[in-house]
Amino acid sequence: MTTHGRESLTLDTRLPLLGIAAWSGTGKTTLLEQLLPRLGERGIQVAVIKHAHHGFDVDQPGKDSHRLRQAGAVPMLVASRAGLALMMETPGRDEADLSALIEMVGLHRPDLVLVEGFKAWPLPKLELYRPDLGKPLRAAQDPWIRAVASDVELSLPGDVQWLDLNDLGAITDWIAAWPSRWPAECIPRRPVEEGVR
């Protein structure tokens, strides 16, 4: 088990994970919207886990499922031939449990799980970075960042790859190859003594 602060995660070498980490306003969701169809065209089944920074509800008050959840169903699963939704209250938690979420999506045996947000968790990540936002680059401090996609070329630690954020083809290629690289990449990078290149 690997530990980073209060979060811990057991990485399964059979289930490739890749975090997509970025500051708000960088375009994580927009990039994922563009990448998912391209990865699907290559036959890669991708599950996505998205972090929400606030409370949300996909159920509607007054509906049977909402009434049953309010009555104490843990969890509440609603299914039809068109889809399903699993809803569960998580009172008293400071943060969503990424380990449990990975376990849930892992049951569906995707080829790759992309994790949007959860940037403090110990898992390999692609950092999206736009200097214009005025936020710090995380790659030098986070040993889990494997590549940075930015709209300008950056000085990065020697073992962190730079990708052009405007080159969707190159980013797609890099992510499509991730499952084959996963077993060797599911550990943090070594600390860099010399700093950046």
CB 113 within 8 A of CB 17: yes
Say yes or no to pLDDT of 124 above 90.
yes
Counting every residue written for the chain, the total comes to: 197
Please state the pTM of the whole predicted model.
0.83
Task: State residue 64's pLDDT score.
Answer: 75
Cα 103-147-10 angle, rounded to 5 deg: 25
CB 113 within 8 A of CB 16: yes
Mean pLDDT of the chain: 84
Residue 30 CA to chain centroid, in angstroms? 14
DSSP 38-100: HHHHTT--EEEEE--SS---SS-TTSHHHHHHHTT-SSEEEEETTEEEEE---TT-SS--HHH
CB 59 within 8 A of CB 69: yes
SS3 123: coil
Say yes or no to pLDDT of 197 above 60.
no
Model confidence pLDDT, tens digit, residues 46-94: 999 887 665 555 667 777 777 777 777 777 777 778 887 777 776 766 6
CB 34 within 8 A of CB 116: no
Q: Are strands 7-9 and 2-4 parallel, antiparallel or unpaired?
A: antiparallel
Cα 128-139-39 angle, rounded to 5 deg: 40
Task: State residue 96's pLDDT score.
Answer: 72
